[in-house]
A and B are shown apart, each in its own frame.
Chain A
Amino acid sequence: MNTRARPGNAFPVEEFVQALSAQLDMAQDALALKARTGRPLTFALKDLAVELKVFWEVQPDGRLLLRHAAPGETGASTVNLGFTTITRAMVEENTLAFGLEDDGRSLGELGGEEGLDDRDRRRLEMVGVRTVGQFRKVMEGADPRQMEALLGTPVDRLRLALERSSTPVVTGHEVVRRPDGRRLLRIQGANLTNGERPRVRLGGEAVEVIEARPHEVVVRPLTHHRSGEVEVLVGAMSAHGFFELPGDPTPTQEVATT
């Protein structure tokens, strides 16, 4: 009779490390809480090293998973994880800076018919490309054939994805209230300007553009605008969406005829 314990679930390495980091944060918070009791000296976690017995699993898409060895299992690998405290400046030096101007949409936005498939996205993630903005930066100025050799993704799919990454798109909106009570509409999206001021229509009517940045455009709706279609015209391309402004609209003035 085989009494070997059932193996547990396997996790991506980064997920396990993040969960462990969260545990250490909780330990740090618990230690910091003791300082509030008036103790003359408190302690903080300086460094931690954990040795675990695990099995590694490589998924067909290249992802690396680890699974803790179950009782009775033999042949497990040993993984050593080390954590140490670092300053905020060191964190900022070694992590990606997410700028507001960057197109933060996921690579999934470049999928669809003849677009990037799951395997293409996985290959791009392995070389550090995770967003549409990063993809565009990598591809601009690069020879598509060289990128095909590097990534294994056909040139046609890369070119189509690059075109899609530059297409204007509306992803949302929000109402902005000025101190004087006037309402402005902030239209959010990507590629909403190409260096020149875009033209915007709300419900088919042209409106004034107050500010224009690649990821957002702020416009002044007309007094009667309440909801309808948004159209942002960027050069020869356009992006569409819908808007809704809360509150009762100011009624239009009607001329009485007799």
Chain B
Amino acid sequence: MIAIGSMLADLLDRIPLHVVGTEVSVEVTEVELALPIESRITDDATLLVSAPRGRLATGFDPHAGHVRVTFVGRSP
């Protein structure tokens, strides 16, 4: 599990935002992600999250939450 801020930056890093083809190029200008998460709050009130580990339910599963985030592109 990692801090939610790190997860958000990591998610965006993994999305191809600029794809150059031979005839057509694609540039992503806005990204909206919605995904289930497992979450936990540490002793210093930091929210730690991770993607759910699988579909096999056990008695030790943390409760699943949900996160929806929107990133918007802009020229620096």
Q: Which residues of the other chain, B, contact A9 by a CB distance below 8 angstroms?
A: 41, 43
**A42-B76 in contact (CB<8A):** yes
Extra pairs beyond A31-B9, A43-B71 (19, CB < 8 Å): A8-B40, A9-B43, A11-B45, A20-B4, A24-B5, A27-B8, A31-B12, A41-B27, A41-B29, A43-B12, A43-B73, A45-B70, A48-B67, A49-B66, A50-B66, A50-B67, A52-B39, A69-B62, A72-B60
- The chain A residue sitting closest to B7, CB to CB, is A27
- The count of residues in chain A whose C-beta lies closer than 8 Å to any C-beta of chain B is 43
Q: For window 43-76 of chain B, which residues contact chain A by CB distance below 8 Å?
A: 43-47, 59-76
Complex Cα gap A23–B17 (Å): 23
A-B contact pairs, 26 of them (CB 8 A): A8-B40, A8-B42, A9-B43, A16-B47, A18-B45, A19-B46, A23-B3, A23-B46, A25-B5, A26-B5, A27-B8, A30-B5, A35-B76, A41-B18, A42-B76, A43-B17, A43-B74, A45-B71, A49-B66, A49-B69, A50-B4, A51-B67, A52-B47, A71-B61, A72-B60, A72-B61
Q: A41-B75, A44-B71, A71-B63 are in contact. Are A50 and B47 (CB under 8 A)?
A: yes
**A46-B3 in contact (CB<8A):** no
Asked if B22 is at the interface (CB within 8 A of a chain A CB), the reply is no
**B76-A39 in contact (CB<8A):** yes
**B41-A71 in contact (CB<8A):** no
Complex Cα gap A39–B73 (Å): 11
Q: Which residues of the other chain, B, contact A45 by a CB distance below 8 angstroms?
A: 8, 69-71
Complex Cα gap A73–B41 (Å): 15
The smallest beta-carbon distance between B70 and chain A, in angstroms, is 4
Complex Cα gap A18–B47 (Å): 11
Asked if A126 is at the interface (CB within 8 A of a chain B CB), the reply is no
Q: Which residues of the other chain, A, contact B75 by a CB distance below 8 angstroms?
A: 40-42
- The chain B residue sitting closest to A41, CB to CB, is B73
Interface code A60-93, partner B: CB below 8 Å = 1, 0 otherwise? 0000000111111100100000000000000000
- The chain B residue sitting closest to A3, CB to CB, is B59
Asked if A53 is at the interface (CB within 8 A of a chain B CB), the reply is yes
**A19-B45 in contact (CB<8A):** yes
